[in-house]
Amino acid sequence: MHITSTSNPRIKAIRALRQRKERERTGLFFVEGIRIVTEAIQTNAEIESLVVAPDLLTSQHARELVRAQQKRGVTLLEVSRALFESIAAKDNPQGIGAVVRQQWADLSGLEDLTGLLRLWLALDAAQDPGNIGTILRTSDAVGGAGVILLGHAADPHDPSAVRASMGALFSQRLVRANWDEFLVWKQQHAVALVGTSGEAEHAYTDVIYPSPLVLLMGSEQKGLSPDQQAACDLVVKVPMVGRSDSLNLAVATGVVLYEIFNQRRHRADAIRLGSEPMSP
């Protein structure tokens, strides 16, 4: 199907996905760029349609990817360069995009958490989609399983979240829940909940993190409430010496995640060393 008109209903539907309301109504979102579309395909995301501007898409690898998807029955919308630029969020687009079905997991689907060396993040009312995307990217890097969005959070399918996640949106699991549901779930499972607060007694480097673990981070504006801190098995602080009293949420999350990850790496090293065959 070759489309050139900006008023084509399929194109209008794609452009409408910039709005959160429309993403929620349809359960879809739009991603663009070779890297992220490749990541969607490789992680078996449910792709509704591919949008390609042949004049822009010069990558041989990407063209082959498109052909393979077409063979598998994915709808292909060919559009003019001008039309693609009208739906792309950034300048100089690569000429490939995909309409993808959102994938949300339920808390009840996280039963496998307790059996594994799992690491989850829970974000309370995270307001900045860029932060959520960046946190997904970091969670992927440290082997995290996914992100539980608590309360009224920004949409991880917002274009700026998708862009910041650099594809991790497709490999990380996404859960949404309210605080009460989350608390019930936590109490039903043998999972440790670790929160952060500037007033905590222990620095984040001074504790040994158990597994499985959920790291709970407060919102950009408010941090964790006293009730939320009380629900944690452990609350840690990230020390600071400057004029400011807080870090960017994605940075603070990254710093604590890396401490947890480093402890696990070093423990794994110790186990590997222990299992080395002794020299005779």
Query: Site residues (CB under 8 A) for a copy of itself?
Result: 39, 43, 130, 134, 137-143, 164, 166-168, 171, 205, 238-244, 246-248, 250-252, 254-255, 258, 261-262, 265
Tokens of 32: 């663009």
CB of 145 to a copy of itself, least distance (A): 11
For a copy of itself, give the closer residue by CB, 136 or 191.
Answer: 136
CB of 91 to a copy of itself, least distance (A): 13
How far apart, in whole angstroms, are the C-alpha atoms of residue 189 and residue 148?
15
For a copy of itself, give the closer residue by CB, 87 or 98.
Answer: 98
Using alpha carbons, select from 255, 250, 214 the residue that is nearest to residue 232. Answer: 214
CB of 198 to a copy of itself, least distance (A): 11
DSSP-derived letter for residue 110 is: G
Phi, psi for residue 177 in degrees, rounded to 5: -160, 160
Cα radius of gyration (the chain): 21
How far apart, in whole angstroms, are the C-alpha atoms of residue 276 and residue 280?
12
For a copy of itself, give the closer residue by CB, 12 or 266.
Answer: 266
Beta-carbon count within 10 A of 79 CB: 28
For a copy of itself, give the closer residue by CB, 29 or 261.
Answer: 261
For a copy of itself, give the closer residue by CB, 226 or 242.
Answer: 242
Q: How far is it between the farthest Cα atoms of the chain?
A: 78
CB of 248 to a copy of itself, least distance (A): 5
CB of 230 to a copy of itself, least distance (A): 26
